[in-house]
């Protein structure tokens, strides 16, 4: 049985690995908000009843308008979806049979969606510390129709400077390549770095975002796309009506009123991530220079971490394996930034690992 391509399902993961799941395990493979769900996601009994019993708007018109106003873009440039994953699959369908370039390691849905739609796949696999060589990129853009870039990156947690992304967009424009920037984790950055201001003048730019991770509503499934009106209309033509369900639409509207939750989360994440990095490096682990709510852990010699992965599971810690990420190949573990108490438990288990290895 192959290992799952996603985190957040620890019982499925441990079963595939052939290791017993222990009740009370802490799931460090899930990368949603460690502070929990925004209070604005709670619906009153009457709102909940209406959201469940009534047909939702076919294309989430009110949510689209509210998101556009919140982002200061025209509503013709925005499309809500049943999570960002739905929009990735629609994009792959729009470019079916075309040449697609992935900057990897990256979120597995890009490749899965494109391969399912018969795309011709190209890949640039970056090595630690995962920096893009613009000269190498320029040499690979010939005849590439679509390129995916995850920024901040999942699984490394690292990101690129805005000027780097602008240079990438300029190169892509010269080759008539559409660029998808996946900003699913942008709001976990204290800086809130984003390329969205370029959307007005870059018709070859598509931005994907998720609302499920920051607001702790992964089960609701809600994301959106910002792009040129032409791309938005083409994707909308592929999207079935009622793609965004009534609960997601109602909760999404509420969440846009929560002005403090994102900033509070980002401040906490930065403080706790830096604490973890300091403590882990004291134990002689390598830690990626993440800017978000997860990071990669590795040994200096980049050995396969399966033994450590199993040790963690046996001690009630569920990591995210990296065998499914091109360029990582099991030599890293992805770990979420959790609550302070949970992170401290992880540190104690890793210290046990170090102590027994000495």
How far apart, in whole angstroms, are the C-alpha atoms of residue 143 and residue 130?
24
Q: Report domain extents, the chain.
A: 10-30+261-357, 56-255
* Tens of pLDDT, residues 185-222: 999 999 999 999 999 999 999 999 999 999 999 999 99
The mean pLDDT value for 86-104 works out to 98
How far apart, in whole angstroms, are the C-alpha atoms of residue 22 and residue 111?
32
Q: Cα 179 from chain centroid? A: 17
Q: For 18-24, which contacts have Cβ atoms below 8 Å and span 24 or more sequence positions? A: 19/310, 19/313, 19/314, 21/313, 22/313, 22/314, 22/316, 24/316
Q: What is the chain's length?
A: 358
- Residue 358: the pLDDT is 65
One-character DSSP codes across 129-166: TT---HHHHHHH-TT--EEEEESS-TTT-----HHHHH
List the Cα angle 240/177/187 in 5-degree steps: 65
How far apart, in whole angstroms, are the C-alpha atoms of residue 27 and residue 58?
36
| pLDDT above 90 as % of the chain | 97
| Fold equal for 10-30+261-357 and 56-255 | no
pTM, rounded to two decimals: 0.96
Would you say 28 and 16 are in contact if contact means Cβ atoms under 8 Å apart? Answer: no
Q: Is pLDDT of 1 > 60?
A: no
- Residue 4: the pLDDT is 86
Would you say 235 and 90 are in contact if contact means Cβ atoms under 8 Å apart? Answer: yes
The per-residue pLDDT of the chain, averaged, comes to 96
Question: Could you tell me which CATH class the domain 56-255 is placed in?
Answer: alpha beta
CATH fold of 10-30+261-357: 3.90.1150
Residue 155: pLDDT band (50, 70, 90) is: very high
Would you say 32 and 213 are in contact if contact means Cβ atoms under 8 Å apart? Answer: yes
Q: In whole angstroms, how far apart are CA 178 and each of 158, 250, 352?
A: 22, 32, 48
């Amino acid at each position: 049985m192959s290992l799952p391509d996603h985190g957040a399902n620890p019982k499925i993961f441990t079963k595939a690995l052939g290791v017993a799941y222990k009740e009370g395990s802490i799931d460090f493979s899930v990368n949603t908000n460690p502070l929990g769900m925004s209070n604005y996601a709670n619906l009153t009994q009457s709102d909940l009843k209406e959201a469940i019993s009534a047909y939702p708007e076919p294309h989430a018109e009110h949510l689209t308008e509210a998101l556009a106003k919140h982002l200061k873009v025209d509503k013709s440039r925005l499309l809500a979806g049943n999570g960002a994953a739905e929009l990735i699959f629609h994009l792959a369908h729009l470019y079916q049979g075309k040449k697609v370039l992935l900057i990897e390691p990256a979120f597995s849905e890009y490749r899965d969606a494109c391969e399912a739609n018969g795309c011709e796949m190209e890949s640039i696999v970056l090595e630690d510390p995962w920096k893009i060589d613009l000269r190498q990129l320029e040499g690979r853009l010939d005849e590439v129709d679509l390129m995916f870039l995850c920024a901040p990156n999942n699984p490394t947690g690292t990101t690129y400077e805005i000027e780097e992304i602008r240079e990438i967009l300029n190169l892509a424009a010269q080759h008539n390549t559409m660029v998808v920037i996946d900003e699913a984790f942008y709001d976990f950055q204290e800086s809130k770095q984003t390329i969205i201001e370029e959307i007005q003048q870059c018709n070859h730019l598509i931005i994907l975002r998720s609302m499920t991770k920051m607001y702790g509503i992964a089960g609701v499934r809600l994301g959106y796309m910002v792009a040129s009106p032409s791309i938005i209309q083409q994707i909308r033509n592929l999207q079935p009506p009622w793609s965004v369900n009534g609960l997601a639409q109602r909760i999404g509207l509420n969440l846009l009123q929560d002005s403090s939750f994102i900033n509070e989360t980002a401040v906490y994440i930065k403080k706790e991530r830096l604490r973890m990095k300091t403590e882990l490096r004291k134990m002689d682990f390598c830690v990626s220079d993440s800017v978000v709510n997860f990071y990669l852990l590795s040994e200096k010699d980049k050995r396969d971490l399966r033994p450590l992965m199993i040790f963690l599971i046996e001690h009630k810690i569920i990591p995210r394996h990296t065998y499914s990420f091109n360029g990582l190949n099991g030599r890293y573990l992805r770990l979420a930034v959790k609550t302070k108490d949970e992170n401290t438990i992880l540190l104690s288990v890793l210290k046990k690992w170090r102590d027994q290895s000495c």
